Amino acid sequence: MEPVERAVILKEELDALRPISKEQELRIMQKFRLDWNYHSNRIEGNSLTYGETKALILFGLTAQGKPLKDHIEIEGHNKAIEWILDIVKGDYPLTESFIREIHTLLLKESYTVDAITAEGLPTKKRVEIGKYKNQPNHVLTNTGEIFRFAAPEETPAMMGELVDWYRQRMNSTSVNPILLAAEFHYKFIRIHPFDDGNGRTARILMNFILMQFNYPPVIIKTEEKQQYFAALRQADSGIFEPFLNFIAANLVQSLDLMIRGAKGENIEDPGDFDKELALLEKRLLSKKPRIEKNSELILKLYDNSIQPLFNAFFEQSRKFEKFYNTLDYSFVANNYSSDDMPDAISEYRQKVNERTSFLTIVFLFKHFKYTHDKNFDFHSSVSVLMAENTFTVTSTANIYKIEKTYHDMLSSSEIGEIIGSELKRHKDYIESHTDVS
């Protein structure tokens, strides 16, 4: 059975169970709201885990070591969801003002982000909340091609046309809500009307349309991110059915969850228990007495976190050595420095004590080989800063930052994320400074 047909049948089954008791409805919608907040933001790069997202939304607890921006994103997204859950109960029209209001709630405050020019060059732009873009927001694809959205001067007219198209379809006697919601999502993304937040806004608007027809919201999970983007790329090529089926298949999952909830059955995902356990552990750890650093703790940290991190960073970063004429690297700790790598990392172990306050490994790649008209260098570093009760790991210019107590060590996945962020930044930098299309 095709996903759209399956969704329609499940909707009929759900309607037969209505009205759902207030208690069950609140339980179901809280589950949707938490999943929606976590996955929609995670798809866009938010670092908060499911447990941290839940702790922030339900208890106002912030995640130690996670960027403030990530907390602001979750809070704004949750406000936007709460607003549409409230107004969808009435006869609230979908207008351009409505769309801009969602964007305002979603982003909360204006900020500056990295961007590329129409020529593919790196630049900066100011993201203004609730306002259409005033600069191009094209993106660089994996193949090196620039994918172009609507130009800023085209955007107001195209958004007016989109809303008019929606009203005509909405008022049609033969309207298919699933097709309408999926098409609106895609048309909105093709315009990309805002400087940032377009993906999250598109998913909110799609779900608002579905909920107008008494469907539950679609939750596009982080694990399906690549499938989601691939379906959008197929739609860009004129093949829309895979995207429609992708949205419908996820709607089937939401309908199944809502039916189980309406029957009073368990609605938690199999992995939710692990997420709850992780949240419990985090809350228990926050109750532990604060530990001040001492020589024994710092040595343990060095053996189990710092040395593995620095050794891995040294080995992985050297993969870029072949692209440059010269490579300088050094290990720095307090008043100690050495370019005898990687031996310096292991040798410094004898000097670690409670007075050790920072350690850094620095790479300077000089004179890129493969350009004739311009030459450039690249700086990359990972640092560990040790305060009295916590230690902080940062990459170049705090692009990646994580803070932990001395109760904790870096996990292998955290080490991978730190190094991976620097390697990706280096690769992206080379691509932005060369013609590799």
Give the C-alpha separation, 156 to 228, whole Å: 27
Report H helices in 132-240: 155-170, 177-191, 198-212, 225-236
Q: Is residue 196 part of an annotated ligand binding site?
A: yes
Q: Pairing mode, if any, of strands 122-127 and 336-338? A: unpaired
Picking from 278, 257, 281, 252, the residue whose alpha carbon sits closest to that of residue 269 is 257
Q: What is residue 365's DSSP assignment?
A: E
Q: Is residue 199 part of an annotated ligand binding site?
A: yes
Give the C-alpha separation, 337 to 334, whole Å: 8
Q: Is residue 349 part of an annotated ligand binding site?
A: no
CA distances from 376 to 107, 124, 194, 219, 427 (A): 35, 20, 33, 43, 13
Contacts 24+ apart (CB under 8 A), 266-269: 267/27, 267/28, 267/31, 268/31
Catalytic residue at 71? no
Q: Is residue 434 part of an annotated ligand binding site?
A: no
Tokens of 344: 């310096």
Neighbours of 425 (CB within 10 A): 17
Q: Is residue 202 part of an annotated ligand binding site?
A: yes
Contacts 24+ apart (CB under 8 A), 21-28: 24/261, 24/262, 24/264, 27/261, 27/267, 28/216, 28/257, 28/258, 28/261, 28/262, 28/267
Q: Is residue 100 part of an annotated ligand binding site?
A: no
Which residue among the candidates 77, 192, 379, 407 is catalytic per the annotation?
Answer: 192
Give the C-alpha separation, 421 to 432, whole Å: 16
Q: Is residue 120 part of an annotated ligand binding site?
A: no
Give the C-alpha separation, 47 to 38, whole Å: 10
- Which residues make up each annotated binding site? 196-203
Which residues are known to be catalytic?
Answer: 192
- Which residues make up each annotated binding site for ATP? 196-203
